[in-house]
Amino acid sequence: GTVGGALHGNSGSRAGDIGQWACRATVMTRAGDIVHRNREDLVFAYRQSSLDELVILSGEFQLEQDDPAQLTKRMQKQWIVKKAGQPLSHQNVACVFKNPRGMSAGMLIEQAGLKGTRVGGVEVSQRHANFIVAGEGASSQDVLRLVDLIRSRVAERLGVELETEIEIW
């Protein structure tokens, strides 16, 4: 990941998102102009932002000072929680789908019976169903086919349309 990608998609976790700390971004528009976007020009929401320019060149953040020992403890706790619930030891595509309002995409995928479902060299993680794990010989086409399968099966069985969190060009 990159800072630009994190700003564009307003990356975050249960602890918050990057948009809450952003105070300025420098972007290049499709016309090639360099523009500075200040906090009042920026809009952040769940996994999205108003930064839809061609290139995000830089970001500036206003952070809060805190005790280094307390920060370290908080980060260690978050890492332990993530490590316990996500397939971090494998190659994966990260969280694939946005959580629909009030629901967990991973739980919906699991309820649709898709944990462990394979397409080519990729499969839905056994640990967290909103992760796709890449194995030997995996291809981007395998990922795209599995994403389509998950979306259609969840819609068919549970009546929920999943929206991808990853951007597919």
Query: pLDDT tens digits, residue range 18-38?
Result: 999 999 999 999 899 999 999
Q: In whole angstroms, what is the distance from residue 42 CA to residue 50 CA?
A: 6
Per-residue pLDDT reduced to its tens digit, 41-70: 999 998 889 998 879 999 999 988 999 999
Query: Above 80 in pLDDT, residue 1?
Result: no
Query: Is the pTM higher than 0.75?
Result: no
Query: Above 80 in pLDDT, residue 40?
Result: yes
Q: Give the pLDDT score at 85.
A: 65
Other beta carbons within 10 Å of 79: 11
88-94: average pLDDT = 64
Asked if residues 47 and 165 have their Cβ atoms less than 8 Å apart, the reply is yes
Report the b/e string of 108-139 with b at 16+ CB within 10 A.
bbbbbebbebebebbbbbebbbbbbbbeeebe
Q: In whole angstroms, what is the distance from residue 133 CA to residue 124 CA?
A: 6
